[in-house]
Structure 1
Amino acid sequence: MAATGSRPVLTRNIMDNENRSLRVIVYTDYKSPYAYVAKNPTLALAVEYPIELVWLPYTLKIEGYLGAVDERSAHNWRKVKYGYMDARRAANRQGLILMGPQRIYNGSLASIGMLFAQRHGFFDAYHEQTFSLFWKRELDIDSMDAMKEYIAKLGGNPHEFEVFASGEGEEEHRRIVEQAETIGVFGVPTFVFDGELFWGGDRITLLRERIEQEIMRHRPR
């Protein structure tokens, strides 16, 4: 199961002393199609192996990554179009609906919502539905009113969320992103295992190999 409130300790000591579980930190962003299609394969890791998934937000700055819409080069537009085509192929294989956003989203509010949901015990539902609704164009993740209504439907307190989002949550989100960048994170999904970074859903196979190596290393002889 996904972790609901843990925070990462970015050291090379990945074995929990009590239950000997392994920890994989997963940086994600709800507005990233690649993060969306990597969600289910990531969750599958926690079913197959004795690992704890620690989900944390890394909110992409689209303008810095691909340029502002009115300033993008033809090269960057080709990258954008191919990226969505590629992500849709992965989504189709999983039976997911992935409709391209009709504008550029910031996404910070949804990332702060992740932290709020982790604190209040409804992260699993939030994580699943935020991805699904956003990519069906049924949730405006940049609208405080829409997010408050959404949080309430999941059982959270919308007023507490608004206060959290404009104060403590905003600061925590900033710290997490800054910490991620100090260890080399630049995109999503990024997995951190034993201090080693794996960027992209297509690196899950390599991550799986590293997990198996670590399990074998700690197996009693």
Structure 2
Amino acid sequence: MKQLTFYFDPISPYAALAFERLPEVLAGHSVEVTYRPILFAALLQALGQKGPAEIEAKRRWTFRQVAWLAHSQGVVLDPPAQHPFNPLPLLRLAWACAAPQGEPGDTPGRWAVEQLFHHVWRGAGADANDPARLAALTERLAPQQLPAGEDIKQRLRNETEAALHLGVFGVPTIAFDGRLFWGQDALPMLRAALDDDPWFRSGAWDAAAQPRPGLVRRH
């Protein structure tokens, strides 16, 4: 069975769209998917970048594009009342739904992840951090641990740091066969890798990533 890891933050509409389409991409393959919630803002901070929603022109394009992608995929995508918002309560809730670290099933399952994405992106434009909605979501998920516990907070920090160390720089990122596939638009490329496209055995993957020194922008 092939192993695949899906790194995500529910703040990302692209992660939500990729999550919805993933079963179609994996069809015909025996694949075990591990879902790992990480804090996108921490990736941005570590890499010295701004998020798409923090640049106004990029924010407008992002939400136009994801609206089109949702339309083309035939899925619902309702942006929340505020975006960006603080995703920490949702990320911690996700890890609280997993068994304690080191035990079988120590990552959240697909159903729990689906509930998180639907809470944000199928909430009819509601506030993702509305206390009543968060309480209802928590009751529905019935987490095994306390989302606000120090162990859960540290688990999220550890998972985010591990993702950074692996080379993850954005969400969604899908790890498969020692390679990282970033973004909803990388799903066809992932499918080709699953299908053992000869391109991935030709050396082209490594050759394309070779450094080509040039101008360096000074801040």
Q: TM-score range by the shorter chain?
A: 0.7 to 0.9
- List runs of 5+ in structure 2 lacking aligned partners: 198-219
Q: Which residue of structure 1 aligns with residue 194 of structure 2?
A: 211
Equivalent position amino acid for 1:92 in 2: H
Q: CA deviation at 1:67?
A: 6.3
* Deviation digits for residues 102-134 of structure 1 (CA, Å, limit 9, x no counterpart): 322121221122222233988333222221231
Q: CA deviation at 1:141?
A: 4.2
User: Closer, same or farther in 2 for the Cα pair 1:93/1:169, shift >3 Å?
Assistant: same
**Alpha-carbon distance in 2 for matches of 1:126, 1:67:** 25
Q: CA deviation at 1:54?
A: 0.8
**Alpha-carbon distance in 1 for matches of 2:137, 2:81:** 20
Deviating 4+ runs (over 6 angstroms): none
With normalisation by structure 1, the TM-score equals 0.72
**Alpha-carbon distance in 1 for matches of 2:98, 2:149:** 17
- List runs of 5+ in structure 1 lacking aligned partners: 1-20, 215-221
SS in 1 for 2:3: strand
1:112–1:165 CA contact under 8 A, matched in 2: yes
How many residue pairs match? The answer is 186
Q: Which residue of structure 2 aligns with residue 149 of structure 1?
A: 136
> How well do the aligned residues superpose, as a CA RMSD in angstroms?
2.9
1:24–1:52 CA contact under 8 A, matched in 2: yes
> Which stretch has the larger CA shift, 38-47 or 76-85?
38-47
1:108–1:142 CA contact under 8 A, matched in 2: no
User: Closer, same or farther in 2 for the Cα pair 1:56/1:144, shift >3 Å?
Assistant: farther
Q: Which residue of structure 2 aligns with residue 61 of structure 1?
A: 41
TM alignment of 1:27-176, pairs within 5 A: 27-61=7-41, 64=45, 65-66=49-50, 76-103=55-82, 104-119=84-99, 123-137=109-123, 140-142=127-129, 146-154=133-141, 156=142, 161=145, 163-176=146-159
1:61–1:106 CA contact under 8 A, matched in 2: no
* Bigger fraction of residues in helix: 1
1:25–1:53 CA contact under 8 A, matched in 2: yes
Equivalent position amino acid for 2:137 in 1: Y
2:10–2:90 CA contact under 8 A, matched in 1: yes
With normalisation by structure 2, the TM-score equals 0.73
* Deviation digits for residues 34-86 of structure 1 (CA, Å, limit 9, x no counterpart): 011111221334432111111101222198543698xx5xxx21111101111
Q: CA deviation at 1:208?
A: 1.3
Work out the percentage of aligned pairs sharing the same amino acid: 24
Q: Which residue of structure 2 aligns with residue 13 of structure 1?
A: none
